Amino acid sequence: MTTISLAQTLVSFLTLVAELAALFIGISFLVGLLQEYIPAATIRRVLTDRMGQGNILGAALGTVTPFCSCSTIPVMVGLLNAGAPFGATSSFLLASPLLNPVILGLFLAVFGWRVTVVYAVLCFSLAAILGAVWEKVGLASYVKQVRVVGAQDGEGETDVPFSVRLQRALRNAWTQFVEVLPYLVVGAGIGAFIHDFVPASWVVKVAGPQNSLAIPVAALVGIPLYIRVETMIPIGQVLLQKGMGLGALMALIIGGAGASIPELSLLASICKPRLLAAFVVTILAVATVTGFVLNLVV
């Protein structure tokens, strides 16, 4: 029995790794092409030139640019230094790590279109609204004076042949995949183990949809846990099959992706404590609201 279980676990593990690897490389390649034509310098210029469109535009740019939570911080500093509105920049900060194309592509493949649409609409709307709230209550005064020194993020590359951009996108996709592969393997391994050895009754009891505390607790656990989305998605796929509530799972993902410990450390270097606290509370609110709504709607 043990041999059969271990063999099944190995098959589950290899299947998850293969599926997610193919998805990640394909989506990263498409995202790399997008980055070739929309560098960070262009994002700064657009937000600066269109100050009246503010938060919706900031959230939209956060959605189409594939920055993780940590790499979002230098971009945020560049936007503020370039004169972009604080509210629009805040919406970009909130939306980017939660709604980038890689995350949405993996969501669509693993959780289906309905979950992905509800998740995307909620996170986008809350990022736009809460960015405006941040500006309204005067949190801009709690940003330290910090400047980014370095290259202009691809500005001026208007005559690069498409073949060169294609090669760079392929190379970057592979490089990103190699960097993320350990996280995918860990996630697939944990997911395969849960699938074959963790009783479904226990998952339902601890984090099932009938547990009203599961969603806020999952949101709180996600922040110090710091599980990358690439790791959490294969685990989440199995947890859903075992009976975990969809809302609790989404709260866990949003907490970990939106306000990880490394990101908070970077934010602390450019934000005063009150703004840092507002950021944590905001991510917890987004995670909790999204979790409850998904439980009700899907």
Cα separations in angstroms, 26 against 101, 102, 186: 11, 9, 20
Q: Are 283 and 250 in contact (CB under 8 A)?
A: no
Of residues 285 and 235, the one with the higher pLDDT is: 285
Residue 71 predicted with pLDDT over 70: no
Write the pLDDT tens digit of every residue in 186-223. Answer: 766 766 676 666 665 665 666 666 777 788 888 887 77
The model carries a pTM of: 0.68
* Number of domains making up the chain: 1
Q: Are 260 and 252 in contact (CB under 8 A)?
A: no
Write the pLDDT tens digit of every residue in 88-122. Answer: 888 988 888 888 777 788 788 878 899 899 999 99
Q: How confident is the model at residue 148 (pLDDT cuts 50, 70, 90)?
A: very low
Of residues 290 and 39, the one with the higher pLDDT is: 290
The total of other beta-carbon atoms located within 10 Å of residue 44's CB is 23
What do you get for the CA distance between the two ends of the chain, in Å? Answer: 37
Domain containing 216 equals: 2-297
CA–CA separation, 44 and 46 (whole Å): 6
* 287: Cα separation from own chain's centroid: 12
CA–CA separation, 289 and 115 (whole Å): 14
Percent of the chain with pLDDT over 90: 9
CA angle (263, 269, 271) in 5-degree steps: 90
Of residues 39 and 233, the one with the higher pLDDT is: 233
Q: What's the whole-number mean pLDDT along residues 164-172?
A: 84
Residue 155 backbone dihedrals phi, psi, to 5 degrees = -65, 135
